[in-house]
Structure 1
């Protein structure tokens, strides 16, 4: 089957382990992406895969995920996870195998102790019943000896911040911790497990509630004798309500910048 570069990149990142799951992931990409090229590629790819049997479809997916190479260093979380899966040699890796999420602390690595849910079509946001916020979502640094931690309200903001770093190329290496809301429980527990931390940056939402919560957490850390040595900064996004909104704005700007160049290239080729 002939696949273009974008179609290969889409299959490289899918998580589905049978045909209907793969098609559903491609459908969600086509429905929600703001990139017209990516939308068209996802729609074309669905048309190509629908006529295959499940075995034929998954043979193509496994071949792409084993042998495809990105033409550039991974720039998004999805590309990083796909590349990590490929380099590990495993057909399917779970999130904690790839990213060593903080909730899989040595004390509780044998069990899942925290999970949260977020709707992609509505406003549902909640922790799974029985979750322990002391082991909230945490995206680790490249250097596990880092003394910095960036704190966000939600996992999607932490991952958006990581994607922004890849897109814009700024140098920073530290933990990215989600509070799972506004409670400081996750941060306090994290700092107790990581006494090496010397800098905390609070990347709360850029609204009244987020700014008030950042000031409250900063005051709490300064008043707690265990954490008085830690420098605390408050860094709400300069644009957008949170870092996911900022990421969407940056991606739109990149696409707008690329569009005239593509039009110019098309005119030259004609």
Structure 2
């Protein structure tokens, strides 16, 4: 395998993606702080030309990953192409996310829940009642590998999606979707308001419910869904399932991918919904939860409660 110098790799990764995409003949449209690639559902390139995100496929990265995804090349060939030592073999065509799939089958259940319960409560700091509530709804269980299984259902309460999270606290920790899962059907918390809160992971969603309790909020009526990343298929489905929704509160991670996703969600949904944002103080809401628990144990002053005052959050316009 060719060993590229660090300078060559940096050169490839500094190629401007906007210019490269136009060279490929892709049709770009400026929307907000990025460019949308027409006919490629949810594919955006940042206005700097340094990064991209394909939300419908939950993929993204820099120039090398762009060539790998769009042209089906391995890493080495993608670098060659960007350096100009290999010609691009890109053929412009819409890419479908609807691939032919086999049947979806949930992982086998263990005969206990103890490892999942211990992991979520002790290691992740999630409230016991929150954990038991999802177990009672068959949205959470333990598989035979002692891992957490978070389940998403369709409107007939048929399981269509599941993500697995290892309960290991040492060594390798596995996380991933069950084969043939459909991300349109999210792990969710049913509410009664016209607002849906959107999270990247089930653990963040459960952490948020726990944080509400820490801040004395006893009545929380908003719907909550986990995207299983930053693709918006689950949000699209949930909004169609609940036409009464008129507000979307984005609770995505406080990192580059989360901020970029919020920009795209705002662009896509702002005409029909009021967009709001509650960003975690740390990287995500589980990190916030663990920080608060640690601070309380050390008798330190806890996070100001105003950040979790529901009415404040739902009345603030999202600033992007």
Asked if 2 retains the 8 angstrom alpha-carbon contact of 1:102 and 1:139, the reply is: no
Asked if 1 retains the 8 angstrom alpha-carbon contact of 2:120 and 2:131, the reply is: no
Counterpart CA distance in 2 for 1:124 and 1:189 is 27
SS of the aligned residue for 2:272 comes to coil
Q: Is residue 179 of structure 1 aligned with residue 179 of structure 2?
A: no
Question: Which residue of structure 2 lines up, in the alignment, with residue 140 of structure 1?
Answer: 190
Counterpart CA distance in 1 for 2:243 and 2:283 is 31
Asked if 1 retains the 8 angstrom alpha-carbon contact of 2:124 and 2:286, the reply is: no
Counterpart CA distance in 2 for 1:29 and 1:115 is 17
Asked if 2 retains the 8 angstrom alpha-carbon contact of 1:148 and 1:198, the reply is: yes
Pick one of 255, 269, 274 that aligns with 1:207. Answer: 255
Q: Is residue 104 of structure 1 aligned with residue 147 of structure 2?
A: no
Cα shift readout 1:83-103 (whole Å, capped 9, x = no counterpart)? x69xxxxxx945249xxx993
Counterpart CA distance in 2 for 1:137 and 1:29 is 16
Question: Which residue of structure 2 lines up, in the alignment, with residue 47 of structure 1?
Answer: none
Question: Which residue of structure 1 lines up, in the alignment, with residue 306 of structure 2?
Answer: none
User: How far off is 1:139 after superposition?
Assistant: 1.2
Distance 1:203 1:25, change over 3 A: closer
Cα shift readout 1:241-269 (whole Å, capped 9, x = no counterpart)? 001100101111121128xxxxxxxxxxx
How do residues 228-243 of structure 1 correspond to structure 2 at under 5 angstroms?
Answer: 228-237=271-280, 239-243=281-285
Asked if 2 retains the 8 angstrom alpha-carbon contact of 1:200 and 1:233, the reply is: yes
Asked if 2 retains the 8 angstrom alpha-carbon contact of 1:103 and 1:135, the reply is: yes
Q: Is residue 164 of structure 1 aligned with residue 214 of structure 2?
A: no
Structure 2: segments with no counterpart, 5+ residues: 1-108, 141-149, 301-320
SS of the aligned residue for 2:160 comes to coil
Cα shift readout 1:82-136 (whole Å, capped 9, x = no counterpart)? 4x69xxxxxx945249xxx9933433x2x31110012233343211111111111
Distance 1:26 1:188, change over 3 A: closer
Question: Which residue of structure 2 lines up, in the alignment, with residue 8 of structure 1?
Answer: none
Structure 1: segments with no counterpart, 5+ residues: 1-14, 36-75, 86-91, 223-227, 259-270
Write 1 or 2 for the structure with the bigger share of helix. 1
Question: Which residue of structure 2 lines up, in the alignment, with residue 251 of structure 1?
Answer: 293
